[in-house]
Structure 1
Amino acid sequence: MRVVIAGGHGKIARKLSALLVARGDEAVGIIRNPDHADDLSGAQPVVLDLEAASVEDVADAVRGADAAVFAAGAGPGSG
């Protein structure tokens, strides 16, 4: 199963990615900051700022996914 996770660098998303990879699934983490790519153990990082992305960019990121999980927060400084 291919699962795309928006907010891929967050604590919940990283835990989910690890669980998915451990059971043999493909995890894809959408992250805003390319410096966080190495933190996604086992997950494929996709660097994409969802707030600035076009519909086409988001469609490309989730294409082929069996499931999508939105684990992104409201962004820096939001609360």
Structure 2
Amino acid sequence: MKRGAWAELAVTGREFHLKVTPGARRQALEQAGEGFRAHVTAAPEDGKANAAVAELLAQALGVAKSRLTLLRGATSRDKVFRLD
């Protein structure tokens, strides 16, 4: 996926619901119904997978990673990020 491929979804205040697969073989982000499915190669330890998901989502939206806030799911596969 190229940087900013989903730039039209980058609306301030929007929440993004993701189902995350940590420790995957590849990094990928895809739409799945009303949410997204993220595959990251990072291990689910010490917040590494959360940081990788934020980076992947920021790239897809074409925004800075610092504009994304993890609202729910710090230790879960189901996560909710908000774009500030």
Q: Normalising to structure 2: TM-score of the pair?
A: 0.29
Structure with bigger strand share is 2
Q: Normalising to structure 1: TM-score of the pair?
A: 0.30
